[in-house]
Chains A and B, each alone.
Chain A
Amino acid sequence: MDRESREMLLETAGRLFADRSGKEVVNAVEKGEWPAGLWSEITDMGLPLVAVPEAAGGADGTLADLLALLRLSGSHAVPVPLMETALANLVLAAAGGVPVEGPAALIAGGLTLAGGKVSGTAKRVAFAGVAAQFVAVIGVGPAARVVVLDRSSAKVAVEPSFAGEPYGSAQFEGAAPVQNLASPVSEVRLRELAALARAMQMAGAADRALAITVEYCKQRSQFGRPISNFQAIQHLLAELASCVAATVAAAEAASRDASEVGIGSGAEFSIAAAKTQASEFAQRIAAMAHQSMGAMGFTQEHVLHHYTRRLWVWRRDWGSETEWGAELGAAVARAGAETLWPTLTSSRFAA
C-alpha cells in the first residue's frame, strides 16, 4: 500500500473505531455481549483482509500496513479479534489458503496434528469465546502446517481476561480441519508475529492513556487552578510520556524491521526486544496514568481502565518481558560478551 492509501485507510478506520467502538461497546463486551454491529462494519471495510493479496480478495496491504492499523485499534481498545483474524488471514494467504470470515482466534502451541486430525488443548486463547474459526499453526520448519478449525469442532471454556475480553481455552479431540496447508510460518514464527502485533496494540493503548491523562490534568482544577499547573503533575506526565515514547519507538522500530523481511523469518531480535520493552513499561505507564488522575481514573465509569487493563493483559499475551527477556538474554550470553555490541548495532542475533 502506498503512503497515501495507508493514510486513507487509517483515517477511515480511525473514524469507524471512534464512532462504533466507544465506551458503551467496550463495556458491553465485558458483560459478555458480542458487538456484532462493530464487527460487521470492520469486515465490510475489509480490515481483516488488509494484508491479503488482491487476488485472494484482500486489500493488498503489507505486514507494515496491518501493524499500523493494529496500533490504531489499540488506541481505541477495539474489543474484537481484529489482530487475530487479520494475522490469521495473512498466514493463510501466504500458505495459499482461503481467508477466513472471522471472528477468528489464533493458536500457536498446545496442539498436535496426526493423520489429518487435530488434538490437544490451547490455553489462554484470545477471543476463544467468540471465535467462529480457530486458526492454528502446528509444528516448525518444513513440517509446519496451518489449519483452520470450525468452532463446532472445539470445546471452548471461556475465561475472560482481566480486561473483560472473552479469552479462554480451546480443546480439540481428533478434529478435522476445514483447511490444512503447508505453512511458510512456523509455530515459533507465529508467536513472534503475534507478539509484535500485540506490542503495536500496546503502543496504541499507551499513547491513548497519555492523551487521556494530559487532557484530564488540563481540565481538572484544584486549589483554584488546573492541576497541570503543578510542577509535580508536569513532571509525572513528562515521565509518563517518556515511557510511552519508549513503547511506541520500540514497537515501531520492530515493525519496520519485520516489514522489511519475509513473513517466514527475520527481525527476531527486534521483535523480542520490542515485546520485552513494551511489556516492561506497561506497569509504569498504567501506574503513572492512574496516579495523575486520582480516584476518577480508578472508577468503572471512566475509560482509562479500558487502556490500562489491556496493557496489563497484553504484556503477558504472546510472551511477557520475562519470557522474551530470557530468550534475548540467553541468546546474548550464548554468543558471548564481545558480540553484545555488534548485536545491538545490527539488531540481529549473532550467527
Chain B
Amino acid sequence: MSAIPKLEFPPFRLPPSAEALRTEVRAFLKTTLPGLKTEDRYPSWNTPSPEFSRALGAQGLIGITWPKKYGGQERSFLDRYVVTEELLAQGAPAGLHWVADRQSGPLLLRFGSEEQREAILPRITRGECYFCIGMSEPDSGSDLASVRTRAEPVPGGFRVNGTKVWTSGAHRTDYCIALVRTSGQHGDRQRGLSQLLIDLKSPGISIRPIINLAGRHDWNEVTFSDCLVPESALIGGEGDGWLQVTSELAFERSGPERFLTNFHVLRELVRVVGRQPARRAASVIGRLVARLWTLRQMSLAVCGMMEAGQSPAIEAALVKDLGTIFQQDLPEVARLLAESDATTDEDMADFLDIAQHATMMAPAYTIQGGTTQVLRGMVARGLGLR
C-alpha cells in the first residue's frame, strides 16, 4: 500500500489581533448597514454601493494588507480574512471594490509598475476605484489558455481587438485587467499571453449587458475594437500573463465567499422556525450549521497554510468545491424545512421568497472562479491520479 494521500487541514485559529479587528468591523457595520434594504445587500460581493465602498475605505478596511505608502494598513492576510467574512455574513454591499481588493490590487502590488501602483492603489483603498476581470471569452471559459483577444504592439502601446464575456461589473467599474495575446499565434496556448490594465473609458470599448436568469445585470460582454492602450498598461512582463493569472486565481478561489455568499438564508431559517423548533427541524439546522462550521475550519486551515508561506492550491480547490455545493444545497434544504416548520404562514411566505431567490442565484457558484469539474481535475492531480 502506498502512502495515504496527504490532504491535511491543520487546525488554525485567528490571532487575537484579528479578533479585535472583528469587533471593530462589527461595530462599523452595525451603524452602516441598517439603512439598506435586504434585497440591496445580497449577495454581498455582487451588490454595488459606492457609498458603502467609500465608507469602508474611510475606515481603512480596503487593501488593508498593502503597504502604507499605497494607502494600505500593512496588516496581515488574516486581518483581511476577518473583514471579508464579516462583510459576507452581514450582507454588506461590497460588490464594487471586491475584485480590486481581492485580486487586482494584490496583482498590481506583485507584478505592476511603480507608476501603476502609485496611480491606482491609493484610490482603491479609498473605495473610489473599481476593477473587473477580463479573462473569459466567448470561446474560452474553463480552457483559459485559449484566449483569442489580441493586443498588437504599435508605437507607444498596443492595439486591442477581441471580446471578453461574463465580465462582472464592467458597466460600473473603472478598469479591466485583461488577459490578451501580445505575441505568437492562437494555439501557442500559455506562451505569448500578457495582462493589460485597461481604462474602461478608453475609446474603442463597447460594453453590452448580459442579464442573468434572476434578472440581474452583473455580467457584460466587453468588446475591444482597435482600442489603443499605452505601453504603460502592460502589467509585469510581456508574455508573463499566464503565470500572473494563475497566481491571481489562487486569491480568487480560497476565500470565504465560496461558502458564506448566502449565509443569510441559514440565519433567516433559524429565525423562521422560532426559538423552540421541533427536534427534527433543530436537527436539520444543526447539520447545516455543522457543515458550515467545518467549511470555515477548512478555509481557516488554508489561510494558515498561506500565512506559513505554503501554496495550498489543492486544498483551496477542495474548499471551493465543498463550499459552493453547500451554497447550492442550503436554499433547498431550508425551503423544505420552512414549508413544514415555519412558526407562521406569513413568515414562511417571506422566507420562501428569500430561499427561492437564493436558489436562482445558486447555479453560478459552482461555475464562477473555476467550475466544480475543473476543481475536481485539480484535486485528482493532487491525489496522483493524473
Q: Which residues of A contact B (CB under 8 A)?
A: 75, 207-208, 210-212, 214-215, 217-218, 228-229, 231, 233-235, 237-239, 241-246, 248-250, 252-253, 255-257, 269-270, 272-274, 276-277, 280, 321-330, 332-334, 336-338, 340-341, 344-345, 347
Chain A residues whose CB sits within 8 angstroms of the CB of B382 once the complex forms: 241
Q: Select A329's contact among B9, B281, B385, beta carbons within 8 Å.
A: B281
Main secondary structure of the interface of B (DSSP, over half): helix
Contacting pair B292 A344 (CB below 8 A)? yes
Residue of A nearest to B277 (CB): A333
A109 to chain B, nearest CB (A): 18
Chain A residues with CB under 8 A of B10: 252
Check: B8 CB closer than 8 A to any chain A CB: yes
Nearest neighbor of A257 in chain B, beta-carbon distance: B11
Report yes or no: A238 in contact with B9, Cβ–Cβ below 8 A.
no
Q: Closest B residue to A339 by CB, please name it.
A: B270
Complex interface: stretch among B34-42, B153-161, B295-303? B295-303
Is B376 in the interface zone, CB < 8 Å from A?
Answer: yes
A330 and B5 contact, Cβ closer than 8 Å, known pairs A214-B385, A234-B380, A273-B293: no
- Return chain B residues, CB-CB under 8 Å to A229: 386
Knowing A249-B9, A332-B286 touch, does A340 contact B270 (C-beta < 8 A)? yes
Q: Which of A218, A238, A252 has the most CB of B within 10 A?
A: A238
Instruction: Name B residues whose Cβ lies closer than 8 Å to a Cβ of A.
Output: 1-5, 7-11, 13, 22, 85, 89-90, 263, 266-268, 270-271, 273-277, 279-287, 289-298, 301, 315, 318, 321-322, 373, 375-377, 379-380, 382-386
B379 with A250: CB separation less than 8 A: no
Chain A residue numbers with a CB within 8 Å of B5 are 210-211, 214, 241
Contact at A245–B277, with CB atoms within 8 Å?
no
Contact call B283/A248, Cβ cutoff below 8 A: no
- Bound-state CA distance A207–B275 (Å) is 38
Q: Collect the chain B residues with CB atoms within 8 Å of residue A233's CB.
A: 385
Contact B380 A207 (CB under 8 A): no
Would you call B1 and A329 a contact (CB within 8 A)?
A: no
Return the 5 tightest CB-CB contacts between A and B, nearest first.
A328-B286, A325-B286, A329-B282, A329-B286, A234-B380
| Most chain A C-beta atoms within 10 Å of own C-beta, residue among B273, B318, B373 | B318
B residues less than 8 Å from A337 (CB atoms)? 267-268, 270-271
Residues in chain B near residue A277, CB distance under 8 A: 290-291, 293-294
| CB pair A272 B290 closer than 8 Å | yes
- On whether the beta carbons of A249 and B286 are closer than 8 Å, the reply is no
Distance in Å: Cβ of B296 to nearest Cβ of chain A = 6
Other-chain contact of B22, A238, A269, A345 (Cβ < 8 Å) = A345
Complex CA gap A235/B301 in Å reads 23
14 sample A-B contacts, Cβ–Cβ < 8 Å, listed by A number: A218-B385, A229-B386, A238-B375, A241-B5, A248-B8, A248-B9, A252-B11, A253-B297, A276-B287, A280-B290, A325-B287, A329-B281, A340-B267, A344-B292
